[in-house]
Amino acid sequence: MDYSQMCPKYEHAIELLGKRWTGLIIRVLLDGPKRFKDIKAQIPDMSDRILTERMKELEQQAIVARSVFPEKPVRIEYSLTEKGLALEPVIESIQSWSENWT
């Protein structure tokens, strides 16, 4: 098979999901909506700056939704969109592969 002309959609998906921490963020959010501090608590080695960057990227790609609740203090939660939830079998496949091969 000739991969010299890679499908642009596949290439985009791999670039997005292959970024460090992105898969872990999606995995954490598969358990339901989380606040920034809760995501950070589950991925403690990731810096706040990187988490902020990844969340913005995922939000721009419509994989993550940011909800602001007008409470005192204001509460912000992140959750997977329908597009993000559709990644669940992909994430589970990677988990299964990693358990068998790494």
Asked, as a colleague might, if the bond just before 73 is cis with ω within 30 of 0, I would say yes
Position 1 scores a pLDDT of 61
Asked, for residue 2, whether it belongs to a domain, the answer is no
Asked, for residue 54, whether it belongs to a domain, the answer is yes
Asked, for residue 1, whether it belongs to a domain, the answer is no
**Number of domains comprising the chain:** 1
Q: Tens of pLDDT along 15-63?
A: 999 999 999 999 999 999 999 999 999 999 999 999 999 999 999 999 9
CATH number assigned to the domain comprising residue 40: 1.10.10.10
Estimate to the nearest angstrom the gap between the alpha carbon of 66 and the chain centroid: 13
